[in-house]
Amino acid sequence: MRHSLFYKTLGDPKKPALVFFHGFLGSHKDWISLASKMTSSYFVILPDLPGHGQSDKTVLSFRSLAYSLQRLLKSLNRSSAGFIGYSMGGRIALYFSMYFPHLVSQLILISASPGIEDRSERRQRTLEDKKWANRFLTESLREGITEWYDQPLFASFRRHEAFQKVFHSRLNQNGMALSRVLETLSVGKQRPLWSKLNTQSYPLLYIAGEWDSKYMAIGKKMKSYRSDMSMEIISESGHVVYMEQEKKCLKRLREWLNKNKGLP
């Protein structure tokens, strides 16, 4: 069984490709503001991940999703691409890169994690995500989204001028599909990839916001596993760093990509 992925492209197909993965509750639209500013140098591919936006509401597994993304690249005649993933999208991008490293020219993870190493912590996180999944099934979509963004992780984003527009865009999602995402793509169910970080050779960049202490610590720990990984801390931003500080994030992305061309 396959995922059917909706996607949008921007720019010239003759240029190197960059694929952007959004986070939970998002869609390809989350990236348009930033990604449209990169089309002078890149062909941009913006998929809706399963359970989100206009893609299939069925969510299968990390493995099946990786193969669906491979087929998407093939359909666009891309032998490789750079990948940029935020939060859940970063975990998916990293997982994809382990299955298909030959297709990855560069990998950029924003506020993302290689997974949870401790087995008991993974079980606990799975239980927590099941509770969230139940909320999206039993409560109104507005209630579920409100409670999601009330988490301390999103404190600085709630104060950002873009928050209300983003919040209202989330109301177009499907609560049942979001529940399946939380059940199937939970970090608690993901195979931890820490030990695999130093087995790949593609250039790797990690970005976190200075107010996001949890993911700053994850980035520093990742660097201990792969010493050649680049790490950028964006000032005056939290978890949703690419929206909270788009200009700063865009500048760092351009500079790093120009220095790290990756595969031809």
What is the mean pLDDT of the segment spanning 185-200? 93
Strands 204-209 and 230-234: parallel
Delineate the domains of the chain, giving CATH numbers in brackets: 7-117+191-259 (3.40.50.1820)
φ, ψ for residue 236 (rounded to 5)? 55, 45
Give every strand in the sheet of 7-10, ordered side by side. Answer: 7-10, 43-47, 17-21, 81-86, 104-110, 204-209, 230-234
Residues 104-146: pLDDT tens digits? 999 999 999 999 999 999 999 999 999 999 999 999 999 999 9
pLDDT for the residue 58? 79
How confident is the model over 175-185, as a mean pLDDT? 94
pLDDT at residue 245, as a whole number = 98
Q: What percent of the chain has pLDDT over 70?
A: 97
Q: Is the pLDDT of residue 264 over 70?
A: no
Whole-number pLDDT of residue 3: 57
pLDDT tens readout for residues 218-248: 999 999 999 999 999 999 999 999 999 999 9
What pLDDT does 57 receive?
A: 77
Question: In sequence order, which residues have a C-beta less than 8 Å from that of residue 34 and are 6 or more positions away?
Answer: 242, 246, 249, 250, 253
Taking CA atoms, 236 is separated from 5, 17, 21, 101, 155, in Å, by 34, 30, 23, 33, 12
Q: Considering the chain, what is the average pLDDT of its residues?
A: 94
- At residue 196, does pLDDT exceed 50? yes
pLDDT of 19 above 60: yes
Q: Which residues, in sequence order, are CB contacts of 145 under 8 Å at separation 6+?
A: 25, 167, 170, 171, 173
